[in-house]
């Protein structure tokens, strides 16, 4: 992944629980930065990057993802003590998404038309990656330049917060899919499954997990270092790919019950 250096803190995005912010980098671009020192910790950054790039591999629109380097002195002049403490705790590499100027939040009350193939691909990906943050309350979808863009994947892959239950999640059906904001439109889930499984497999085989900074891969639960943690993720994804039938059936059942 491309790495840029933060040069200017522009504005906090206080609607996000982890206090992300718009930051200018040394390439002259603006990024929405998710910080290493936020309450969700580095695992949320792993999910942000990995799920975002898997979405891109599936042909879905995702803002460009970069690593944003924060110097220890960055933000020391910030007046807000909460922001100052967050920036101090986030020295090193953070996750950044390209800022989409003028983007409009997806409104589930008056939603735009989303074709079934696109809706199905998004529902499938979110069920595959255990993303609970695509509900009507919190769609994490933007409308920009005539397209639907996926953002904020830090809540996905929640198994990595307690590795002891990871295997069960890898083969699980993912009941939260019933609350997916696009489920009603997702009438082509079997087609999405057939199309996206090989794309996911190819992307993982090409080394997507190697793009994750070692500093985000927290040792523990019998994994002594970043390499061991990375291997755990690979094993989890391989198992999940071999067990898509369960969550596909769950999604189909929920969709038909609500149509």
DSSP per-residue codes, 198-213: HHHHHHHHTTGGGGS-
Q: What's the confidence (pLDDT) of residue 258?
A: 81
Q: Which residues contact 198 (CB under 8 A, 6 or more apart)?
A: none
Q: What's the confidence (pLDDT) of residue 75?
A: 86
pTM above 0.85, yes or no: yes
Give the DSSP H or E segment for 224.
none
pLDDT at residue 197 greater than cutoff 80: yes
Q: What's the confidence (pLDDT) of residue 67?
A: 98
The helix/strand/coil state of 69 is strand
The helix/strand/coil state of 132 is coil
Tokens of 120: 């199905």
The Cα 28–Cα 7 span in angstroms is: 9
Contact present, 19 and 86 (Cβ < 8 Å): yes
Output phi, psi for 5, to 5 deg.
-105, 130
What is the domain partition of the chain in residue ranges?
3-98, 104-258
Instruction: Report pLDDT digits (tens) over 84-121.
Output: 999 999 999 999 999 999 999 999 988 888 999 999 99
Instruction: Report pLDDT digits (tens) over 127-136.
Output: 999 999 999 9
């Amino acid at each position: 992944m491309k790495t840029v250096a933060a040069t200017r803190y522009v504005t906090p995005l206080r609607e996000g629980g982890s206090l992300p912010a718009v930051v200018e980098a040394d390439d002259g671009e603006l990024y929405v930065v998710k910080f290493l020192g936020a309450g969700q910790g580095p695992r949320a950054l792993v999910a942000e990057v990995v799920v975002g790039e898997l979405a891109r591999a599936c042909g879905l629109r995702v803002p460009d993802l970069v690593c944003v380097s924060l110097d220890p002195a960055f933000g020391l002049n910030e007046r807000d003590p909460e922001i100052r403490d967050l920036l101090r705790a986030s020295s090193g590499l953070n996750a950044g998404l390209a800022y989409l100027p003028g983007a409009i939040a997806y409104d589930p009350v008056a939603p735009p038309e989303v074709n079934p193939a696109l809706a199905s691909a998004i529902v499938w990906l979110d069920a595959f990656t255990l993303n609970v943050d695509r509900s009507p309350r919190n769609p994490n979808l933007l409308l920009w330049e005539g397209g639907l863009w996926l953002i904020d994947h830090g809540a996905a892959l929640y198994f990595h917060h307690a590795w002891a239950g990871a295997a069960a999640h890898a083969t699980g059906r993912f009941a939260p899919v019933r609350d997916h904001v696009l489920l009603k439109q997702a009438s082509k889930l079997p087609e999405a499954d057939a199309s996206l499984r090989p794309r996911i497999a190819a992307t993982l085989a090409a080394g997507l997990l190697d793009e994750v900074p070692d500093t985000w891969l927290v040792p523990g639960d019998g994994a002594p270092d970043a390499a061991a943690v990375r291997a755990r993720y690979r094993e989890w994804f391989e198992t999940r790919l071999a067990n898509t039938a369960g969550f596909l059936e769950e999604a189909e059942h929920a969709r038909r019950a609500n149509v």
